[in-house]
Structures are given as structure tokens and as C-alpha cells.
Amino acid sequence: MNPLIRHKSWFVIAALAVSLAACSGGTSSTPPVASQALTPTSALAGVVTATSAGTTAGSAKTDVCALLPADQVAQVTGLTIGAATPRTGLFGPNDFGCVYGDNDATIDVVSPGGTAFYNDLATQYYAGNYSQVAGFGDKAFQDVTDGSGLVALFGDSAFDVYIDNPGDQLTDAQVNTVSETLITDLRSQLL
């Protein structure tokens, strides 16, 4: 599936959800302060909370592009990967990610809120058109329509990797392996 459509669709859904929450008069809970001790399962939530508590976006802990530079993504995938551009907030305020080239690859992290994001992707966006990936994260799935990436959940942190695979240079299994490697590399730097 075209990643631009995928990401624009979720941006619209996220914007609608924020608008509805604002209209409902709901209250938001106060995020934990950045100085709270982090457990391994909450470490990513703490990283994002630190961003909302004042750490500038693009710092070493929130800049996916700095943590996984384009040359590293190209080396892992074996594909030509363009320059890295950081992005935040595409899927809501707790999303940070990176776009490589003209959507050669994208990597997004949603935390906290990854569980809801993962479930929404599985049930609404992919509507069951995915295959479960056993043994990676708390749960994970790969898009079965084009095998272009992997969505994995670790605690309340979701990782969404998309890899443009021109001419099907990589098999679905290879895309899965490459996606797992990129997520593992990113997680090792965030924990």
C-alpha cells in the first residue's frame, strides 16, 4: 500500500480523534515528569514524556533519524535509501519517526499509546489483512497485501516500519527480518 496514503489516513484519523476529545470536554491526565525512574517496559514512554515535558524534539533520544541514519538503514536493507528527515506528531502527539528519501522507508514510534495505535492499525487500517509474526515483541504483524513492513508492540510502545521494495528485491520474509533488525537497533538505543 502506498505509504503516503497510509500515513495521511492515520493523520486524518488522529486529527479527528483529537478534535472529538476536545469537543467532549474530556480531561487529559498529567504526564509523568521526565525525572521518574524508568522500568525497561516503560522506558520509551519516559523518553516521549521527556519530550512533552520540555526536551526539544530532535534530541538524541527522540530523533529516529539520528538513531538510525540513512546509511545504516541502507546497509541493513541492502536497498538505496535517500536522506533522512525527522517527523513528529503524524499519528498524534506521542509519535516520533523518520522518513528516508521519497518514502524509501519510514519508521515511526508511538509511545505511550502504542497499544491503541497497534490495535487501530490491525483492526481498522489493515482490517485483518495481515499475518501475525510470532516471537517478536509482545505481538507483531506484517502487511500481507504487499509485505512492505512490520508493526510491533513492546509494552505500550508501537514500532511501525515501512520499506519501499521496488521490484520486490526482498521477499516478504526478508522485509520482516530487516524490519525486526531496524526495530531492535532502535530499541537498543532508546532503552
Q: What is the pLDDT of residues 110-140, one digit of tens each?
A: 999 999 999 999 998 888 789 999 999 999 9
For the stretch 35-54, pLDDT in tens is 222 223 333 333 333 333 32
By CB atoms closer than 10 A (0-12, 13-18, 19+), residue 71 is exposed
CA–CA separation, 154 vs 146, rounded Å?
Answer: 24
Q: How far is CA 163 from the centre of its chain?
A: 12
Q: What is the pTM of this model?
A: 0.70
Cell numbers at 83, concatenated: 536522506
Cell numbers at 178, concatenated: 530487516
For the stretch 12-26, pLDDT in tens is 333 333 333 333 333
Q: Which residues contact 134 (CB under 8 A, 6 or more apart)?
A: none
Split at pLDDT 50, 70, 90, the class of 61 is low
CB 143 within 8 A of CB 126: yes
CA distances from 134 to 47, 110, 122 (A): 27, 21, 15
- Determine the straight-line distance between the first and last CA of the chain, rounded to whole angstroms: 31
